[in-house]
Amino acid sequence: MDDYTLVMNAGSSSLKFCVYRRPEAESWRLEARGQIEGIGTSPRFSARDGAGGVLADQRLDAAVRDGRSALDSLAAWLGSRYGGARVLGVGHRVVHGGARFAGPTVVTPQVLEELRALIPLAPLHQPHNLAAIEAVLELLPGVPQVACFDTAFHRGQPAVAELVPLPREVCRSGVQRYGFHGLSYEYVASVLPRAAPEIAHGRVIVAHLGSGASLCALRDGRSVDSSFGFTALDGLCMGTRPGALDPGVVLYLFQGLGLSAEDVEAMLYTKSGLLGISGISNDMRDLLASSEPGARLAVDYFVYRAAKEIGALAAVLGGIDGLVFTAGIGENSAEIRRRICEASAWLGVEIDPEANERKGPRISRAGSRVSAFVIPTNEELMIARHTGRFLGLTEAPS
Ligand code: ADP
């Protein structure tokens, strides 16, 4: 009988998954990859096979309005297709591993408890990640689950990079800079030796620009700092999050405007950033297509902030050898890449406009002091590799 492993990446409005299959005496291959998106609004299920052929593309019943009902629909689809298959393990993206989890870990009741305690640190993501683990516990009891953390790749940074300069007793309670998008950065770092060998062991800034956006400073493939901090609110301007903010503004929201903690949380996680500035959309495509002044300002600020933070991380690294773009905006928007590269020209980045339009992978001119690349991320594959290795499978998906 063939072996299977599953990967789940459960977010607030989407549930992404991958199925890997290992036919007897063969190596692991991607069997299916898909998602339920629009959970809570207009849910839609789509899945493709390993070669990109469409397996499913359909609207779901509006009753799929929360994470649990999305998980049930996915379970029904998987059951109808792979019912009775031998599932060796399930790997999950878990956004926050706190200070304790510095690598993938097998989920036990005790681990689950510790991860629940981190919900206030990542209220947009952690509850959904854990709900997926709980659903699998119920539906596939006894199948080992591996939690793969977005924070883990950043552990081991210098003390000054992890520090939040508040009184020691506050820091002892877990207030430090954690960094996120670690699975994406770890994946990019893992493919650099093949995709961009001349910078793989140098000083590289990776820009993960999606609906969440951050930067990571790599030295020899290891994270030395990132733009995310204690939570995934810090750093760059994002779709609905503001990025770095004067803490005095947050005090003013409470003291001056009398907002409740719930209101402030909703504002910071869901109403700010590109959406807040433009008043139009959190989707970069909409903003780039709009001639409204608010949309233009939102795009200008996104680029300004990214270039400013690239400068800050370049200072941390003492100069850079490479700049890598990834995730939805980084992989698909030639305009945003061009503008960020132009704003970073002082560092020695010289963009090649034609290569940039073609999506590279190399988008810098020959002779540019800093090489720039577009490298598509693959967080699910990173999770599959961790899950495979962790469960002692003879050979992890590659
Ligand atoms: P996440 O996984 O964090 O939800 P993604 O990495 O999928 O996000 O990125 C989503 C973002 O990518 C959206 O804001 C969307 O506007 C943007 N995006 C996708 N394609 C393009 C494009 N062609 N041009 C500009 N932005 C794009």
pLDDT of residue 311: 98
Exposed e or buried b per residue across 244-279, where buried means at least 16 C-beta atoms within 10 angstroms of its C-beta: beeeeeeeebeeeeebeeeeeeebbbbebbbbbbbe
pLDDT of residue 40: 82
The Cβ of residue 235 has, within 10 Å, a number of other Cβ atoms equal to: 25
pLDDT of residue 63: 79
The minimum-distance atom of ligand 1 relative to the CA of 239 is: 14
Question: pLDDT tens digits for 264-275?
Answer: 999 999 999 999
Helices within the chain (DSSP H only):
67-82, 109-116, 126-139, 159-162, 168-172, 182-195, 197-200, 247-255, 261-266, 273-278, 284-289, 293-317, 327-332, 334-343, 353-357, 379-390
Q: Cβ(234)–Cβ(268) under 8 Å?
A: no
Q: Is 45 helix (H, G, I), strand (E, B) or coil?
A: strand
- Judge whether 66 counts as a catalytic residue: no
**Contact 377 CB / ligand 1 (< 6 Å):** no
352: Cβ contacts below 8 Å, ≥ 6 apart: 362, 363, 364, 365, 366, 368
Rg, Å, the chain Cα set: 21
**Contact 286 CB / ligand 1 (< 6 Å):** no
Residue 396 CA to ligand 1 centre (angstroms) = 29
The answer to whether the pTM exceeds 0.75 is yes
Q: Cβ(387)–Cβ(145) under 8 Å?
A: no
Atom 23 of ligand 1, residue of closest alpha carbon: 332
**Contact 327 CB / ligand 1 (< 6 Å):** yes
- Size of the chain, expressed as the number of residues it contains: 398
Q: φ, ψ for residue 282 (rounded to 5)? A: -100, 0
pLDDT of residue 270: 92
pLDDT of residue 113: 96
pLDDT of residue 376: 97
pLDDT of residue 388: 85
Question: pLDDT tens digits for 294-350?
Answer: 999 999 999 999 999 999 999 999 999 999 999 999 999 999 999 999 999 999 999
Residue 27 CA to ligand 1 centre (angstroms) = 32
Q: Report, in this order, helix, strand and coil percent for the chain, each rounded to 5.
A: 40, 20, 35
Which residue ranges of the chain lie beneath pLDDT 70? 25, 393-398
Q: Is 211 helix (H, G, I), strand (E, B) or coil?
A: coil
Distance of CA 345 to the CA centre of its chain: 27
**Contact 332 CB / ligand 1 (< 6 Å):** yes
Cα(305)–Cα(300) distance, integer angstroms: 9
Q: Cβ(226)–Cβ(215) under 8 Å?
A: yes
Residue 327 CA to ligand 1 centre (angstroms) = 7
Residue 218 CA to ligand 1 centre (angstroms) = 23
List Cα–Cα distances, 345 to 59, 163, 372, 394, in angstroms.
45, 30, 11, 46
Mean pLDDT of the chain: 94
Find the catalytic residue in 150, 225, 234, 321.
150
